[in-house]
Amino acid sequence: MNASPEHQRILLDVADLDRRIAQAERARTKPAQAARITELVAIRQDQLRELTSLTGARDDVRTELTRLESDVVLVEQRRARDADRLAAATNSKEAQALEHEIASLTRRQSDLEDAQLDVMGRVEDADAAVAAQQALLDTTTAEGSALTAQAKADVAAATELGAQLGRDREAVTATLPAPLLAEYTRRAANSAGAALLTRGTCEGCRILLPGTDIAEIRRAAEDAVVSCPECGCILVRTEESGL
């Protein structure tokens, strides 16, 4: 195939645009934040399960405290009633029985109040555990929200850039002969498509070509479309090629 040196040099612009379009597409479909966001989703799920467990345990302890508080009130009310009955009692046997019951209720109330203090401490510990877990969850959620917002912004920017680069490519390729563009497109499926030959090195695969290949390229006509024997891309020759 033959093509003017000017058209061959334009292929370098097309290759650069294709490279940038591919970068923009990767940024659009795989934003840099995606891996961390996925990790945070898993972390948040674990933290939420732990928070649910801690909240359930705290609620159980609170229920136990409510029951104890109710029992203390009932004992206090019963003691008050017995004290009123004792004050009005005229029968010594009845009075003795009431005194015995009041003493028993007093011990019961003391035991309940001791248990109440213990459970109040457990409620405090449970509240602290829930608060600490909620703080961890809030931190994870905040990081995830910030990264998601940034990812959306980056995707939008990459989408806009890709569209602009696509328009630029259409304008550039419109100046190329159809056969040359088709040949470039075919090669671009497996290589850079087109690359500069710089001092004997293919800029597409970064390989220094052997002297025999350089000699063959040197003998080729100026408008001949030559290719890299290593990666297969079109080699564009300029004064930098060292031929």
Q: Residue 208 — pLDDT band, cuts 50, 70, 90?
A: very high
Average pLDDT score over the chain: 94
pLDDT band at residue 240 using 50, 70 and 90 as cut-offs: confident
Averaged over 75-90, what is the pLDDT?
A: 88
Query: What is the model's pTM?
Result: 0.73
Nearest to 234 by CA among 178, 176, 165, 185: 185
Q: Any residues with CB less than 8 A from the CB of 222 and at least 6 apart, and which?
A: 5, 237
What confidence score (pLDDT) does residue 92 get?
83
Q: For position 71, what pLDDT does the model report?
A: 94
The percent of the chain in helix, strand and coil, each rounded to the nearest 5, is 75, 5, 15
pLDDT reported for residue 10: 97
Tokens (6 digits) for 117: 């203090």
> Residue 242: is its pLDDT beyond 80?
no
Does 171 have pLDDT greater than 90?
Answer: yes
Q: Mean pLDDT lowest for which of 80-94, 109-123, 213-227? A: 80-94
